[in-house]
Structure 1
């Protein structure tokens, strides 16, 4: 799965996050790949996934509750590892 590091808009980023999580749910990518890419996207696109410790409105709308739960878990685990 090819993923860019930097995205211009929140909508583009939401589409990629959706593809990543869907691929994980369909057993197309391993868990480590998902963790690595979500952390990378969050680090390299500051303010596009979260602002003031909340998901942005576009990310909430585009990703939905179940995918946000996965993103939340990945980012929380990443913070615990640091």
Structure 2
């Protein structure tokens, strides 16, 4: 799965985050690939993913609780 490094909007980031988690759930990628992908997205797009110690509103609305639970665990974020 090919992901961009930098995103212009929170919505674009959320769409690819959804694709990443969904492909893991469909067993198209391995757990390690999921972890590396999430960490890379976070590393290069922190301000679009997290604000004031929680996921940004756009990301919350686009991704939903189940996906963000996984992302939060990978990033060790509460």
- What range describes the TM-score normalised by the shorter chain of this pair? over 0.9
How far 1:46 sits from its partner (Å)?
A: 2.1
State the TM-score, normalizing by the size of structure 2. 0.95
The gaps in structure 2 that reach 5 residues or longer are none
Please name the residue that 1:53 is paired with: 53
Aligned to 1:24: 24
**Runs of at least 5 residues in structure 1 that lack an aligned partner in the other structure:** 78-82
Where do residues 1-82 of structure 1 align in structure 2 (5 Å cutoff)? 1-76=1-76
**Distance in 1 between residues matched to 2:8 and 2:37, nearest whole Å:** 17
CA separation in 2, counterparts of 1:52 and 1:39? 19
Number of corresponding residues: 77
Q: Could you tell me the TM-score, scaled by structure 1's length?
A: 0.90
